[in-house]
Amino acid sequence: MKEDLELLWELQKIDLDLKNIEEERKRYPKEIKRLDEKQILEQERIRKEKEKLESLEKDRRLKERNLMAEQDKIKRSEGRMTEVKTNKEYQALLSEIETFKEAAGRIEEEILLMMEEIDELKKQLAKREKEIATTLEKVEEEKRKIKEKMEQDDTVWKEKTLRKEILSKQVEANLFKLYLTLSEKRQGIGMVSVRNQTCQGCFVNVPPQMFIEVQKNNSLIRCPHCNRILYWDGNGEKK
């Protein structure tokens, strides 16, 4: 019985390892999806900021063309100064030139303000791109580690599954059947250790005499409370 209990205890630890790997396998796709979404979000922020910068540059070029048009009007009007024959025409032409100059002045001010905004946005964008590059690098590193862990888990899964098959055949049939039944009813844990006279499955104290017998590992003993198979693995405690 002692050998069977030892084999079964190893089997229980393998089952717990496999259960943990299975839970990780469910978590990995969600984690990768979260990282992918983070990448997309960061890239979308940069795209929008670049679009804003491009829009401002486009508006600036349009205003510069408008400024050139106003300046051309001023030149044409000034060129007509030699053609005027009356004072009234001269005053009207001066008023026209002044209007064109005022319009050109307003456009120049708008261009200057826009250039300041563009320069500031460029600085922010450059800083943001560096920050996002660092963030994306970290995201890629996290994804790489997850994929490595997935590959490692696959290797461990195969090794432990093979070992489980071997142990399943070595453990006494009725004992193994009992273990499977208990595992199904108790969230995959059919066998537990005892520490400080406490069942590590339900954390209820076992009777003193039962604890003494459990420490021998010579017979099948089940927790009076949760019915799991009890096992003494030492845990650094003295018998």
Characterize the bridge pairing of strands 229-231 and 191-195: parallel
**Residue labelled with tokens 């018998």:** 239
Range of the domain at 192: 174-231
Nearest to 67 by CA among 105, 93, 32: 105
Within 8 A by CB and 6+ apart from 14, the residues are 160, 163, 164, 167
pLDDT tens for 193-214 read 999 899 999 999 999 999 999 9
pLDDT at 136 over 80: yes
Judge residue 232's burial from the number of C-beta atoms within 10 Å of its C-beta, 0-12 exposed, 13-18 middle, 19 or more buried.
buried
Are 119 and 193 part of one and the same domain?
Answer: no
CA distance 182 to 168: 15
Sign of the alpha-carbon dihedral angle for 232, 233, 235, 239: positive
pLDDT at 74 over 80: yes
Are 112 and 201 part of one and the same domain?
Answer: no
| CATH number of residue 68's parent domain | 1.10.287.1490
**Has residue 4 been placed in a domain?**
no
Nearest to 166 by CA among 2, 1, 5, 8: 8
Are 44 and 129 part of one and the same domain?
Answer: yes
